[in-house]
């Protein structure tokens, strides 16, 4: 039976992740200490999301969960503390933001936070937080009509990759979780997560054996997944899991 070897939570979309020993499974993805995966997102002044595709230095922005804040650090800069409490409705500033084809309202973080992220990335930008009253769902074309909620992830609440697939790639250079769509890869895997610099592109190798006609000839690696059962249960590194493979 497969064993869960790693759990990674990404509080801020396209910034560094946090390796966890355990995390709570929710319909919208992983959650730990009341922090959800891709709960925050960096946007430009028009509300369009930013990622390592265009700004590889985002890999150097490293969040850490503290008692009452999400601490954010980057080499050469003072740390920034993001409050975990949601803003009071009277004080909240909401703006429209865009994630691919979805336009949704989000909480706009303060000017100090916007200044910090603008300096970190060298471009005017802001940090936003997923609005708790917003409902964004994964593509029904792939979920079989199941309305699977997600936050600021590209499209699905979970991405599942087998260790064998990773080992196979490196050698060349779940019943509760239902895989629904092969994940076509973007240029982000070529970004060195330790330095924020673009390096050799694993897509060059993947292109030779991972082209998938189900995603219009895209290079697929891993499976986007939705949660069908077990929301609220705790996943732990090292536990055995049941996996239903999609054809």
Our CA dihedral for 160, 162, 167, 168, rounded to 10 degrees, sits at -100
Q: How many residues would you count in the chain?
A: 247
Q: What is the mean pLDDT of residues 115-131?
A: 97
Q: Please tell me the pTM assigned to this model.
A: 0.80
pLDDT of the residue at 145 = 92
200 pLDDT more than 80: no
CA angle 28, 49, 68 (to 5 degrees): 55
Q: What is the mean pLDDT of residues 157-183?
A: 71
Give Cβ neighbours of residue 37 (< 8 Å, ≥ 6 apart): 9, 10, 11, 28, 29, 30, 31, 151, 153, 157
Residue 41's pLDDT band (boundaries 50, 70, 90)? very high
Cβ proximity of 4 and 234 under 8 Å: no
Token code pair at residue 122: 């060298």
Contact criterion met (CB below 8 Å) for 11 and 63: yes
Assess contact for 176 and 227: CB atoms under 8 A: yes
* Residue among 120, 129, 50, 124 nearest 95 (CA): 129
201 or 108, higher pLDDT: 108
**Mean of the per-residue pLDDT values for the chain?**
86
Residue ranges per domain, the chain?
1-247
pLDDT per residue as tens digits for the range 50-97: 999 899 999 999 999 998 999 999 999 999 999 999 888 777 899 999
Alpha helices by DSSP H, 80-126: 111-121
Please, are residues 51 and 13 in contact by the beta-carbon 8 Å criterion? yes
Give me the sign of the Cα torsion angle 14, 141, 245, 135: positive
pLDDT classification of 174: cutoffs 50, 70, 90: very low
What is residue 3's predicted lDDT score, i.e. its pLDDT? 84
pLDDT at 247 over 50: no
């Amino acid at each position: 039976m497969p064993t869960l070897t790693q759990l990674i939570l990404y509080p801020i979309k396209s910034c560094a992740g946090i390796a966890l020993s355990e995390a709570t499974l929710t319909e919208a993805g992983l959650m730990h200490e009341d922090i959800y995966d891709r709960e925050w997102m960096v946007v430009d002044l028009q509300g369009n999301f930013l990622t390592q595709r265009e700004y590889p230095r985002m890999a150097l922005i490293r969040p850490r969960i503290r008692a009452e804040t999400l601490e954010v650090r980057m080499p050469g800069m003072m740390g920034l503390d993001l409050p975990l409490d949601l803003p009071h409705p009277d004080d909240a500033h909401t703006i429209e933001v865009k994630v691919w084809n979805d336009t949704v309202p989000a909480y706009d973080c303060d000017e100090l936070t916007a200044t910090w992220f603008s300096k970190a990335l060298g471009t005017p930008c802001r940090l936003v937080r997923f609005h708790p009253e917003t409902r964004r769902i994964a593509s029904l074309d792939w979920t079989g009509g199941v309305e699977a909620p997600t936050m600021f992830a590209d499209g699905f609440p979970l991405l599942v990759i087998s260790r064998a697939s990773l080992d196979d790639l490196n050698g060349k250079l779940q019943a509760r979780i239902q895989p629904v769509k092969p994940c076509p890869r973007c240029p982000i895997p070529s970004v060195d997560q330790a330095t924020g610099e673009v390096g050799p592109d694993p897509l060059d190798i993947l292109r030779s054996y991972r082209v998938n006609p189900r995603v219009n000839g895209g290079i697929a690696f891993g499976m986007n997944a939705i949660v069908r059962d077990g929301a609220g249960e705790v996943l732990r590194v090292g536990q055995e899991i049941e996996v239903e493979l999609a054809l």
